């Protein structure tokens, strides 16, 4: 049994979509709220070394830090990635670089601390054979629209591997597929495909629109993982892994964007037509993970069915309205 209640844990991004669920699951494991520290952006800019150092010195009043679960990221959908390639590379690389190095240099790794890094499916090569296997991570360059973000996250994995080899630093590294669920980011400028489609359909239905417009051709495929399943996989990796062997976290199915749009249209009740803007990119042609390693190494597999998860997400968005669309904070 992993001794969660006696750990001091920093969860970067712990107030966000995935992080809030991770923190809830830590409480379920018996971790007192005083032993979980969630740095907020208004207080700590984790792209700056001095802020990361201040975080480590002040999080628990000078007490040792047993674990960092690094979820914080700057990320968005295809449009946001195309608009911010430099920022997305810098922010994600800088956060990992400072947090990992200071965890080591300030002595937390030396006392058997552990650093848990959440990577991204965007690290895989553009034309990875489907289903994606961890052994193929280096067999090509990522899809161009999200390559800077994916490369930055992959570099964090390599840093952890190097630190394990040189310093004996304990860590875990997981690669979740596209996430969705209640509390997601529904901002049309920065959101991923599921929350964007849900918001488009719900708002179009409310206005009585005759159509919605979707990017690309609909031919690309994706795999989606419900946020609660992802959080459970991350904590299982924290419990049982001491090395940064990359491990996929996915639901084990593939759906085309065309079929996804049609499903969300059906579940939201939108009665209009679907129009495709083929001048916009499809992104990576296919995404579907081999999750056998997660089941073998972590004893983990996804539990929430896709339609069930979509219904929960649609219900959450309808209930939270503008707050959900604006900030995903509730």
pLDDT given at position 330 = 37
Pair 257, 222: CB distance under 8 Å: yes
Mean pLDDT for the chain overall: 93
Using the structure block, give the residue that is written with the tokens 């206005």: 207
Of the candidates 190, 153, 204, the one whose C-alpha atom is nearest the C-alpha of residue 174 is: 153
Model confidence pLDDT, tens digit, residues 69-116:
999 999 877 788 889 999 999 999 999 999 999 999 999 988 789 999
Domains of the chain and CATH, by start: 4-185+224-253+286-304 (3.40.50.720)
Cα–Cα separations (whole angstroms), residue 162 to 47, 175, 262: 21, 18, 45
Query: Which residues lie across from 215 on neighbouring strands?
Result: 277
pLDDT given at position 326 = 40
Mean pLDDT of 135-150: 94
Q: Give CA–CA dist 150/137, Å, rounded.
A: 11
* 138: pLDDT strictly greater than 90: yes
Pair 189, 79: CB distance under 8 Å: yes
Mean pLDDT of 306-317: 98
pLDDT given at position 321 = 67
Using the structure block, give the residue that is written with the tokens 């959900």: 324
Q: Give CA–CA dist 109/169, Å, rounded.
A: 6
* 1: pLDDT strictly greater than 80: no
Q: Give CA–CA dist 65/7, Å, rounded.
A: 8
pLDDT given at position 322 = 53
pLDDT given at position 244 = 97
Q: Give CA–CA dist 291/273, Å, rounded.
A: 36
* 174: pLDDT strictly greater than 70: yes
Q: Is the dihedral of CA 79, 85, 87, 91 positive or negative?
A: positive
pLDDT given at position 189 = 79
Pair 179, 225: CB distance under 8 Å: yes
Model confidence pLDDT, tens digit, residues 199-250:
999 999 999 999 999 989 999 999 999 999 999 999 999 999 999 999 999 9
Model confidence pLDDT, tens digit, residues 315-330:
999 999 655 444 434 3
At residue 89, φ and ψ (nearest 5 deg) are -65, -50
Residue 157 is encoded by which pair of tokens? 């994995």
Model confidence pLDDT, tens digit, residues 43-65:
999 999 999 999 999 999 989 99
Pair 180, 195: CB distance under 8 Å: yes
Percentage of the chain beyond pLDDT 90 is: 85
SS3 per-residue string spanning the chain = CCCHHHCCEEEECCCCHHHHHHHHHHHHCCCCHHHEECCCCCCCCCCCHHHHHHHHHHCCCCCCCCEEEECCCCCCCHHHHHHCHHHHHHHHHHHHHHHHHHHHHCCCHHHCCEEEEECCHHHCECCCCCCECHHHCCCCCECHHHHHHHHHHHHHHHHHHHHHHHHCCEEEEEEECEEECCCCCCCCCCCCHHHHHHHHHHHHHHHCCCEEEEECCCCCEECEEEHHHHHHHHHHHHHHCCCCCEEEECCCCCEEHHHHHHHHHHHHCCCCEEEEECCCCCCCCCCCECCHHHHHHHCCCCCCCHHHHHHHHHHHHHHHHHHHHHCCCC
Q: Give CA–CA dist 28/22, Å, rounded.
A: 10
Side-chain half-sphere exposure of 277, counting CA atoms within 13 A: 8
Mean pLDDT of 7-22: 97
Q: Which of 56, 88, 149, 317 is catalytic?
A: 149
Annotation says 149 is catalytic: yes
pLDDT given at position 281 = 82
- pTM score, two decimals? 0.91
Side-chain half-sphere exposure of 223, counting CA atoms within 13 A: 25
């Amino acid at each position: 049994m992993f001794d969660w209640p006696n750990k001091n844990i920093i969860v970067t991004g712990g107030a966000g979509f995935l992080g809030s669920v991770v923190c809830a699951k830590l409480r379920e494991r018996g971790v007192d709220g005083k032993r979980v520290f969630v740095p907020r952006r208004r207080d700590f800019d984790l792209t700056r070394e001095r802020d990361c150092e201040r975080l480590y010195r002040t999080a628990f009043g000078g007490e040792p830090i047993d674990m960092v679960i690094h979820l914080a990221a700057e990320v968005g959908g295809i449009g946001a990635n195309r608009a911010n390639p430099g920022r997305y590379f810098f922010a994600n690389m800088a956060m990992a670089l400072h947090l990992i190095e200071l965890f080591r240099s300030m002595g937390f790794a030396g006392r058997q601390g552990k650093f848990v890094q959440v990577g991204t499916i965007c690290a895989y090569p553009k034309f990875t054979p489907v289903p994606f296997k961890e052994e193929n991570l280096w067999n090509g360059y990522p899809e161009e629209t999200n390559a800077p973000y994916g490369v930055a996250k992959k570099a964090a994995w390599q840093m952890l591997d190097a630190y394990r080899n040189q310093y004996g630093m304990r860590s875990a590294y997981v690669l979740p597929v596209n996430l969705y669920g209640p509390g997601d980011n529904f901002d049309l400028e920065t959101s991923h495909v599921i929350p964007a489609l849900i918001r488009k359909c719900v708002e179009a239905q409310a206005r009585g629109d005759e159509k919605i417009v979707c990017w690309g051709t609909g031919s690309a495929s994706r795999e989606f993982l419900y946020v609660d399943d992802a959080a459970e996989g991350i904590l299982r990796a924290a419990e049982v892994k001491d090395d940064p062997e990359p491990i996929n976290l996915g639901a084990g199915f593939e759906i085309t964007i065309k079929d996804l749009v049609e499903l969300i249209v059906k579940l939201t009740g939108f009665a209009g037509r679907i129009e495709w803007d083929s001048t916009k990119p499809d992104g990576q042609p296919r995404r579907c993970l081999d999750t056998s390693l997660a089941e073998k190494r972590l004893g983990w597999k996804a539990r929430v069915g896709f339609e069930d998860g979509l219904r929960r997400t649609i219900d959450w968005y309808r209930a939270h309205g503008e707050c959900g669309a604006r900030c995903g904070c509730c």
